[in-house]
Chains A and B, each alone.
Chain A
Amino acid sequence: MCLGIPGKITAITDAARLMAMAEISGVRREVNVACVAGVDLEALVGTWVLIHVGFAMSLIDEDEAARTLEALRDLGEAQEALEQMAAADEALA
């Protein structure tokens, strides 16, 4: 919950609500981008972000994303985050 997981923004899905699609370790998940959004929302597409509980909190570069993901995998935190996303999909079903 406390450690963010890197994801890549692939599309803006709802500009009014500042929502975007992110790809996180092969899983697609809609995230809020309010905390990283500049004037041009579309400029976020293709960038890497650190995602905390569904909110992109920081822009990071690709190398940082890879290093963070590796550290999270080592700690079992990446798997935990992905399991929580799957559990949430079930809760919403």
Chain B
Amino acid sequence: MSAPALKFASEFRDPAAARVLLAAIARKADEIGATREKPVHVMEICGGHTHSIFRYGLDKLIHDGVEFIHGPGCPVCVLPMARVDECVEIAEKPGVIFTTFGDAMRVPGHRKSLIQAKSAGADIRMVYSPLDALELARRNPGREVVFFGLGFETTTPSTALSIQQAAREGLTNFSVFCNHITVPEPIKALLDDPDMRLDGFIGPGHVSMVIGIHPYDFIAADYGKPIVVAGFEPTDLLQSVLMVLTQIAEGRAAVENQYGRVVPEHGNPVSLAAIAVVYERRPSFEWRGLGEIDASGLRIRPTYAAFDAEEKFGIGYATGRRNVPELEGCACGSVMIGKLKPTQCPQFGKGCSPEMPLGALMVSSEGACAAYWQYAGAREAAE
């Protein structure tokens, strides 16, 4: 192993364990004949994993025959621009207090981002939890409080439980603009894409904390690819890559759980029940870079229509479809699904930087472009 690799490894909490794992990965990669020219493509789906890979330079430390492909697992990044426009439209309505996670504030829309709408006078507030939005609704009975419900299965239970709480209290001025999406469906779309060559997956640990590991059974059973649900520490990720390579070497494909200390096989029953009661699947949902994917988004069931901002304000999918194109020259779509590296986008570092983002991948700390910007540049300078 080269000297810079050891330097990176020394930043690990447990450098000895990292070195052992890196060596085991190298042996396994050699065993299956993976090389720089013919690498094994391992997709990490979760933006948190992408961030961790860059933070620790795992993509550089690991054997040349293993290539990380960064998947569409940052909910802010996969949101199509039209949905940001709809947020702004709701936020600009008189009497509305629009509440959102801070991550979404700077994502560009066609007209403006939420932060621009806020400086132009709309009442937009950053909250930490949908419970904060609920509290705002209690304290401001004369105002309409809308929460921007965003995220994969990890955050879906929080809005489901908040809607149920609002219903129990009889709150009539609280609603959720639902943009919850699911992880398994876009993976299926990627596996069906003939241009993609993926050999295995690292599954998002905190999503499986909610849904368990079995929603991924189809990846192994129908597509013959390994998937390992992983934690977020660097050694978790390395161990998961080793588990993927081991399956490939043994000619197996299975769903395995590296993060058993947090992920129960069948997920969290209370969360799953709340999701099932409050939400149903949309026939399809639009993803930036991936287009419409069947059954990949959730909407609020008619029983809870009073808490559905789309119904309340006649916006979004409630109005029929609007097809709004993405910005020209922005390659977020191709980067999102791993077809382009961030630096291959013509706008990277030119028209698009974290200070002046053109696309969502540059906004969120979990976006691949922001991660490249933050870590890869410094690393290249150091090398």
A residues neighboring B (CB under 8 Å): 1-4, 17, 29-30, 32, 34-37, 50, 52-55, 57-58, 60-61, 64, 67-68, 70-72, 74-77, 80-81, 83-85, 87-88, 91-92
Interchain CB contact (< 8 A) of B262 among A55, A64, A77: A64
Q: Are A54 and B129 in contact (CB under 8 A)?
A: yes
> Can you list 17 residue pairs at the A/B interface with Cβ under 8 Å?
A1-B101, A1-B155, A2-B74, A3-B206, A3-B232, A32-B131, A53-B101, A55-B161, A57-B154, A57-B157, A57-B271, A71-B233, A75-B48, A84-B127, A88-B126, A91-B132, A92-B135
CA distance A77 to B271 in the complex (A): 23
Is chain A's interface secondary structure helix, strand, loop, or mixed overall?
A: mixed
Interchain CB contact (< 8 A) of B268 among A17, A57, A77, A85: A57
Q: How far is the CB of B24 from chain A (nearest CB, A)?
A: 21
A71 / chain B contacts, CB cutoff of 8 Å = 13, 52, 232-234
CA distance A84 to B128 in the complex (A): 5
CA distance A17 to B131 in the complex (A): 11
CA distance A1 to B101 in the complex (A): 7
Q: Are A91 and B125 in contact (CB under 8 A)?
A: yes
Q: How far is the CB of A3 from chain B (nearest CB, A)?
A: 5
A37 / chain B contacts, CB cutoff of 8 Å = 270
Interface: B86 (CB within 8 A):
no
Q: How far is the CB of A33 from chain B (nearest CB, A)?
A: 10
Looking across the interface, which residue of chain A has its beta carbon closest to that of B207? Answer: A2
A29 / chain B contacts, CB cutoff of 8 Å = 128
Q: Are B129 and A58 in contact (CB under 8 A)?
A: no
Interface 1/0 per residue, B7-20 and A, CB below 8 Å:
00000010000000
6 A-B pairs with the lowest CB-CB distances in the bound complex, closest first: A54-B129, A91-B125, A88-B128, A84-B128, A87-B126, A88-B127
Interchain CB contact (< 8 A) of B139 among A34, A83, A92: A92
A57 / chain B contacts, CB cutoff of 8 Å = 154, 157, 206, 209-210, 268, 271
B206 / chain A contacts, CB cutoff of 8 Å = 2-4, 50, 52, 57
Q: Are A54 and B158 in contact (CB under 8 A)?
A: yes
Q: Are B47 and A58 in contact (CB under 8 A)?
A: no
Q: Are A84 and B126 in contact (CB under 8 A)?
A: yes
Beyond contacts A53-B151, A77-B48, A80-B365: 13 other A-B pairs, Cβ-Cβ < 8 A, are A4-B206, A34-B161, A50-B262, A52-B155, A75-B232, A84-B101, A84-B128, A85-B128, A88-B126, A88-B128, A88-B132, A91-B126, A92-B136
Q: How far is the CB of B21 from chain A (nearest CB, A)?
A: 16
Interchain CB contact (< 8 A) of B129 among A4, A17, A55: A55
Q: How far is the CB of A56 from chain B (nearest CB, A)?
A: 10
Interchain CB contact (< 8 A) of B151 among A2, A58, A85: A2
A88 / chain B contacts, CB cutoff of 8 Å = 126-129, 132
Q: Are B262 and A60 in contact (CB under 8 A)?
A: yes
Q: How far is the CB of B297 from chain A (nearest CB, A)?
A: 17
CA distance A56 to B131 in the complex (A): 12
Q: Are B127 and A75 in contact (CB under 8 A)?
A: no
